[in-house]
Amino acid sequence: MSTSLPPKFDITRPEIERVVREFYALIRVHPGLGPVFAVHVQDWETHEAKVADFWANAILHERSYDGSPMEAHVKAGNVRPGMFDPWLGLFDRVLRAELRPEQAAAWSELARRIGRSLRAGVVERETLPGGVPKLR
């Protein structure tokens, strides 16, 4: 009897890898997000493989990802709360272009839940008690 969990929705590892590849192709040329990533990513192929592992873990329950997205985004030092909406907009654009509508909708919802968590982590570190912005 298998103890593995079923995927959160119907998608294959190659489809995940294709979405990640297409997404980062757009990120690299995005005027606002491209420079943020360029500071940290020198090897795009390795970065994309790690992100594909993250999504395969989150969706397919693979155990190929070892890392902390929250820690990575906070440690980056240049990720700001206002960047999440453009990021999600680009991601949704790729999902709609590359996947069937039901796949795109399911992955988008998962990405938005994760994005809310990451945004909260960044916002909490960027504000003082009472929501007052830190002005460094």
**CA torsion angle 87 89 93 95 (round to 10):** 70
According to the model, what pLDDT value does residue 122 have?
Answer: 75
Residues 62, 122: Cα–Cα separation, whole Å? 27
Q: With CA atoms as reference, report the closest residue to 59 among 48, 68, 51.
A: 51
**Beta-bridge partners for 132:** 128
Residue-level pLDDT, tens digit, the chain, 136 residues: 444 788 889 999 999 999 999 999 999 999 999 999 999 999 999 999 999 999 999 999 998 888 877 777 777 777 777 888 899 999 999 999 999 999 999 999 999 999 888 887 776 655 556 656 554 5
User: What's the CA gap between 84 and 118, in Å, rounded?
Assistant: 9
Alpha helices in 30-100 (DSSP H): 34-38, 44-60, 69-76, 84-98
